[in-house]
Chain A
């Protein structure tokens, strides 16, 4: 069996950043396994700009952002096995891979980094009644068809869900000559970033219908239209508000789900709030030597944060490999999301033996105005940060200084307080 130091599952932004960081920390024998024929992951179909403002202080397109990291991976001579699908990861880190040319093979790794990304919530999971005609796509599927295959799936478009890919596709379809009649969002707030609402909808006069949803899909073979209705505070359609929108294309942008089939089969504990692995401050999962980062861990808003987080996973894996054992086997305190906080990553911290400052990343459960983010260890307030507005579409990232956490044995709570 082939033996390597570090196996990285996925060659998107997370996998590439993790590989570079691990190599910088001295890990020699790294392999990135990528199922596509090239690195970059989902960025390859994100041809719009807006990537890299934090990382490179300039505005790049998705492929450009990916290429910066891919170039670095090549410069560092980190092997990338493309067209290679990981079929299984065992608890003792034997990775089973499938490649067109070489068939099925097992590789033993000292550490594994999960960087598989996420997928879109499909129509079936949304319980939209109606027919199942041609013309209903997730926004990302349509994005691939338009941007990679050069095929525009329709002319008259309705978008359900105001996730960022949906907003981006509203603009993209408009630029391709289609008419986007409306973006309907079930919640009273958008699930996409403010800048995308402005640049992709408002600039093109595309209406955003908050507290609205699609309640029926018409057309047996080809989509003929959808019925949109307003919903009440319990998300139930309000009778009398139904409106028919004729369209040949319905795009869905209703949430992303971390892709953890491999993790679950490996026996890794999953946080039901994020649908990603439960990790500690070093992004190590419940299985020794297996780390997770990027959208497979929790859905990020900006790729810049994916890169930053993934570098941390790469460093932790490097430390694990050099020690040859769990990075820290001391007991951990829990990080508990409270009032207004939906989840936190990490969900536990080893406070005894911290190597660096700790990022706590989280999202809020609703829109909060004039509030404060409060992080406590037991009764002891570690951090209080005032904010004018917090919205669920933005991932928040708070750094807690290592010395503040050192030796803490009480659980840590993260909550939002009204000011």
Chain B
């Protein structure tokens, strides 16, 4: 019998696991994919939003601002890439100035510090590549960019190191009531638990309905993105938004925390919760709308395109509640879900504390060390590392300068990678401009050797790659 079963190993579930692992609780994360960070958490804008966008008084507003504040500290302790680069929201029509001012007032009400309206010239002074059509911009200094894979993995590994269990490749099929709580039925056996956290992303409505709480639905909202080569990464320094619409924050142009340029997303509500295909129409829209903010974006430097699904609830706010005693929802976690994740976890822990006694763990470890990135070390550190482990002297991914040592670390560390995508998210091997053409045969060999399986059994992603 667990104290808490968390359904979903995305950023919300992993942040919740990390939060609960501070206490004397037995926690188990159940994830249907073979790795954590396989759904919405891996395909989004990777922005730590300032918090001016959400309606004041909503959970979104409160948890966004709190999450932003937490990430500004957490990234040091949990060792994930974060940069406080600031954001601008552009308007292209002088008549839209009142809307920008409204956004500023909303942000201030939400507690966002430092918001400032810039004229087009002032905006271009700070960001010279902005279109000449920009009339005004709202500047938000607390906005940042993060590596969403690293952040999710950091939460997961921190939770794991503090005793949380992870059952990957395990899909929940039913939830039954028992005397002392719930029986979570999966394709790999049943798990009994006093409490259940539903952090199931686009499937959160289905999971909630399993305990009879079917008051909301989650609509996947498709967002297509294009990622540009690092040669284009310096075109803008800030995250560049356009005035938001009903469907979201529009197409943004932003550097990524690792120095690429990201343009997107589109916003299209769909029915299929698995449809992460890009479309030619979507990518054309990304090109057209991105170019409004920054003229002449070099789309010949695109290295990949991808689609993410936002889990959009029908209440216009995050759905974080306890519809049935001991069953907690974190549903409708669309943008700013990534930013809010640690705050959502904190909020859910507070809710849980009303339901069961939480006793702080004496030996809780509040830090976690990520994969050591060889390329970021000083010459002395590099040589010391190679002396200790010669595999760090062998570059496997030439585009991102990732060594064999890092790939072995990614495979061997707690909750280690079992797929090519898993290695990629932990090390960046294969994320560069050749998109794994060079390194994938080498990474496949390393995975095959370490997992003890044939080359043909090494998978790119998917559900059947987990270690026993």
| Interface positions of A (Cβ within 8 A of B) | 35, 83, 85, 87, 98-104, 119-120, 122-125, 127, 129-134, 137-138, 140-141, 144-145, 148-149, 151, 215-218, 220-222, 261
Q: Is the CB of B227 within 8 A of A124?
A: yes
CB-nearest residue of chain A to B382: A104
Q: Which residues on B sit within 8 Å (CB–CB) of A125?
A: 302-303, 433, 435
Q: Is the CB of A104 within 8 A of B437?
A: no
Q: Which residues on B sit within 8 Å (CB–CB) of A129?
A: 277-280, 282-283, 305
Q: Is the CB of A120 within 8 A of B434?
A: yes
B226 to chain A, nearest CB (A): 8
Known: A103-B382, A129-B280, A131-B276. A98 touches B393 (CB 8 A): yes
Cα of A109 to Cα of B459 in the assembled complex, Å: 44
B81 to chain A, nearest CB (A): 21
A109 to chain B, nearest CB (A): 19
A135 to chain B, nearest CB (A): 8
- B119 contacts partner chain A, Cβ-Cβ < 8 Å: no
Cα of A101 to Cα of B304 in the assembled complex, Å: 35
Stretch at the interface among B17-25, B361-369, B460-468: B460-468
Q: Is the CB of A144 within 8 A of B276?
A: no
Interface residues of B in 205-245 (CB under 8 A from A): 227
Cα of A221 to Cα of B279 in the assembled complex, Å: 17
Interface majority SS (helix, strand, loop, mixed), chain A: mixed
Q: Is the CB of B283 within 8 A of A100?
A: no
Cα of A99 to Cα of B463 in the assembled complex, Å: 37
Cα of A140 to Cα of B302 in the assembled complex, Å: 20
Q: Is the CB of B395 within 8 A of A35?
A: yes
Cα of A149 to Cα of B391 in the assembled complex, Å: 20
Q: Is the CB of B460 within 8 A of A134?
A: yes
Known: A145-B441, A222-B462. A124 touches B302 (CB 8 A): yes
Known: A98-B395, A119-B438. A127 touches B303 (CB 8 A): no
- B401 contacts partner chain A, Cβ-Cβ < 8 Å: yes
Interface string of B259-297 (1 = CB under 8 A from A): 000000000000000101111101100000000000000
Q: Which of B394, B395, B437 contacts A122 (CB 8 A)?
A: B437
Cα of A133 to Cα of B227 in the assembled complex, Å: 18
How many B residues are at the interface, by size bracket? 35 or more
Q: Which residues on B sit within 8 Å (CB–CB) of A100?
A: 386, 390-391, 393-394
Cα of A131 to Cα of B43 in the assembled complex, Å: 13
Known: A104-B379, A141-B441. A83 touches B302 (CB 8 A): no
A-B contact pairs, 29 of them (CB 8 A): A85-B398, A98-B393, A100-B393, A103-B382, A103-B387, A104-B382, A119-B434, A119-B437, A119-B438, A120-B434, A120-B437, A122-B433, A122-B434, A122-B436, A123-B435, A124-B303, A125-B302, A129-B280, A131-B276, A131-B277, A132-B306, A137-B437, A140-B437, A141-B436, A149-B444, A215-B280, A220-B274, A220-B276, A221-B461
Cα of A132 to Cα of B456 in the assembled complex, Å: 18
- B190 contacts partner chain A, Cβ-Cβ < 8 Å: no
| Interface positions of B (Cβ within 8 A of A) | 227, 274, 276-280, 282-283, 302-306, 379, 382-383, 386-387, 390-391, 393-395, 398-399, 401, 433-438, 440-441, 444-445, 455-456, 459-463
A358 to chain B, nearest CB (A): 32
A34 to chain B, nearest CB (A): 12
Q: Which residues on A sit within 8 Å (CB–CB) of B394?
A: 83, 100
Q: Is the CB of B461 within 8 A of A134?
A: yes
Q: Which residues on B sit within 8 Å (CB–CB) of A141?
A: 436-438, 440-441
Q: Which residues on B sit within 8 Å (CB–CB) of A134?
A: 459-462
Q: Which residues on A sit within 8 Å (CB–CB) of B441?
A: 141, 144-145, 148-149
Cα of A120 to Cα of B438 in the assembled complex, Å: 9
CB-nearest residue of chain B to A96: B379
CB-nearest residue of chain A to B391: A100
Q: Which residues on B sit within 8 Å (CB–CB) of A216?
A: 277
B1 to chain A, nearest CB (A): 34
Q: Which residues on A sit within 8 Å (CB–CB) of B387?
A: 103
Cα of A148 to Cα of B444 in the assembled complex, Å: 13
> Given contacts A100-B394, A122-B437, A218-B277, could you give 20 more A-B pairs where the C-beta distance is less than 8 Å?
A100-B386, A101-B393, A102-B393, A103-B383, A103-B387, A104-B379, A119-B437, A119-B438, A120-B437, A122-B436, A123-B304, A124-B305, A125-B433, A125-B435, A129-B282, A134-B462, A145-B455, A151-B456, A216-B277, A221-B460
